Amino acid sequence: MKFKRSAVVLTAIMMMCASGCANSEKNENADKADKIEKSNSSAVTTTVANTVTMPEPIPVPEGGWTDETIKDVIYINGKKLEFPCTIDDLGDGFEIEPNEEADKEMKEDGSAVYHLNYCGNFVGFVGMRESDKIYLLDFDAFDSPIENYPDIPFSVNGVTIGTPISEVREIMGKDFSDEKDNGHFNCDFKNFRVSMYDAYNNDKISSIEIFSH
């Protein structure tokens, strides 16, 4: 009888071990699949972005930045971005994520904020008016390490997400000085505002916002 009980217990233990190994293998396979998916998504984003030629920074205009001169250095997908704009103006790879709550706000208030994706990756927000007019464009790395932020084809005179703060000071000049608020660069123009932030104190730009008045 003792031998029979021992055999039953041993069999149960072996079945539990086998089940545990199977679950462990499933979890490992799921983790691997997730990593592969993220890797592939990152590779696609980088590949698409690398096919776009972005302009080099220009010297700060004599007399400082104006509405016209700053417009000439805001680029997305290799072309100048007129602001306000539409989602089509952003070019290939960019899409607005559908959101029923935002759609409701649009109908009730005439404006709403949506998530903005690039090649399937979340990269920030867009503020919309009249269903198709973008009045707010906000690229933001949020809490994620900047190194993990997608390589997007967007820049303001060469400044993009991940640009070192020291380079921003040199590229953008005194009009975008951060003397009053270290790591925060703002400049108001007649029709819109351009802001660049080091939100996480890592000496790199983590957020760029263009807001149409």
Extents of the domains making up the chain: 52-212
Q: In terms of DSSP H, where are the helices of the chain?
A: 2-50, 67-71, 87-90, 100-109, 165-172
pLDDT greater than 80 at residue 23: no
Q: In angstroms, what CA-CA distances link 68 with 22, 46, 99? A: 63, 31, 34
- Structure confidence by residue, pLDDT tens digits, 147-183: 899 999 999 999 999 999 999 999 999 999 888 898 9
Q: Which of 28, 35, 209 is nearest to 127 (CA)?
A: 209
> Each residue of 125-135: pLDDT tens digit?
999 998 789 99
